[in-house]
Amino acid sequence: MDLSVIIPAFNECESLPELSAWIARMAREQDYDYEVWFIDDGSTDGTWDAVKAFSAADPHVHGLRFRRNYGKSAALYCGFERAKGQVVVTMDADLQDSPEEIPEMVRMIREEGYDLVSGWKQHRKDNALTKNLPSKLYNATARCITGIKLHDMNCGLKAYRREVVKHIEVYGEMHRYIPYLAKNAGFTKIGEKKVQHAKRKYGKSKFGMSRFVNGFLDLQTLWFLTRFGKDPMHFFGYSGLLMFFVGFVMTVWIIVEKLVRQAHGLKFRAVTDQPLFYLALLAVILGVILFLAGFIGEMVARSSDDRNHYNISGEV
């Protein structure tokens, strides 16, 4: 099969008929052997009824329904599990992404050898204050931390080589960082394509301003797990030793200074009367706690079932 299109949908029944017809028209023009997966993420409108109608009328269309709203990452994860196409494309259900962009993205995967091609909504049709500016700041932070030079990492329109979606696990709200997940899995040829972005035609956005705060926290989590997930002692152990050393040096300094001043008959304060002593004591305690946290984390990591799980690209 040439192409799988995965579309998470939450209360998007008004846009689905137009989107489904648009994808079918594009696929016929390109002569693709294709499938479309609509993942109903616990919708409360007529989304599932629409998907069932599409599936009954067109053998290329399939649907999956969650009993409740689990989020976009869960929808993509289940879609990736079921995808059979050599190229897998994800897009939003709100008609802001154009299916006409898909053929060029597929070509980039097939002919230019990209593992992943991400859309870049260079000219967004969203509110500049609530969407555009926060998005620019978010993407700048993501580029700095991940080292992936994408202008729009969270763009819903992406194309993947089949092997990519079968070797990554999308969970929580990590759909924002699929390029980073792919990079960490060894798929490093990641490209970008400028895509058209249309105004929302029906309904309203399902994401608020909180997604930017949550996105930043998720990025920190993903970075930490990638860097120290299998060896947490390298973070907590070093941090603990550094904190312990700082506290120890401060304590020695306070005691030595007191003894020197006492030996020369100078005025001095008792060690326990100095605020710096309690800061030093706090640093020592924190150092011990961090070191123990690293030790416990190391034991948990070594007991993990996937501690020796590796993505292998070939064997002869």
pLDDT for 180-215, tens place per residue? 999 988 999 999 999 988 777 776 665 555 666 777
Tell me, what's the pLDDT at 223?
A: 79
Q: How confident is the model at residue 262 (pLDDT cuts 50, 70, 90)?
A: confident
Mean pLDDT of the 79-103 span:
94
Cα 118 to Cα 199, 210, 308: the distances in Å are 20, 23, 30
User: Is 266 found in the same domain as 199?
Assistant: no
Q: Kindly report, residue by residue over 109-118, the tens digit of the pLDDT.
A: 999 999 999 9
Tell me, what's the pLDDT at 197?
A: 80
182 is a domain residue: yes
Tell me, what's the pLDDT at 271?
A: 79
Residue 243: domain span: 233-302
The Cα 39–Cα 81 span in angstroms is 12
User: Is 112 found in the same domain as 261?
Assistant: no
Domain-terminating residue out of 169, 197, 228: 228
User: Is 220 found in the same domain as 144?
Assistant: yes
315 is a domain residue: no
- pLDDT score of 78 more than 90: yes
Whether 7 and 37 have beta carbons less than 8 Å apart is answered as yes
307 is a domain residue: no
Q: How confident is the model at residue 157 (pLDDT cuts 50, 70, 90)?
A: very high
User: Is 72 found in the same domain as 215?
Assistant: yes
User: Is 294 found in the same domain as 200?
Assistant: no
User: Is 31 found in the same domain as 60?
Assistant: yes
The Cα 302–Cα 288 span in angstroms is 21
Q: What is the DSSP string of 241-273?
A: HHHHHHHHHHHHHHHHHHHHHHHTT-----GGG
User: Is 207 found in the same domain as 253?
Assistant: no
Mean pLDDT across the chain: 86
More confident call, 21 vs 203: 21
**Where is 78: in which H helix or E strand?**
helix 72-82
Domain-terminating residue out of 206, 228, 250: 228
User: Is 129 found in the same domain as 57?
Assistant: yes
Mean pLDDT of the 92-120 span:
94
User: Is 251 found in the same domain as 127?
Assistant: no
316 is a domain residue: no
CATH of the domain at 215: 3.90.550.10
Domain-terminating residue out of 228, 251, 278: 228
The Cα 88–Cα 160 span in angstroms is 5
Percent of the chain residues topping a pLDDT of 70: 90
Q: How confident is the model at residue 127 (pLDDT cuts 50, 70, 90)?
A: low
308 is a domain residue: no
- pLDDT score of 299 more than 90: no
150 is a domain residue: yes
The Cα 82–Cα 293 span in angstroms is 39
User: Is 176 found in the same domain as 87?
Assistant: yes
User: Is 100 found in the same domain as 44?
Assistant: yes
User: Is 259 found in the same domain as 195?
Assistant: no
266 is a domain residue: yes
Query: How many structural domains does the chain have?
Result: 2
Angle between helices 233-263 and 275-302 (to 10 degrees): 160
Q: How confident is the model at residue 234 (pLDDT cuts 50, 70, 90)?
A: confident
238 is a domain residue: yes
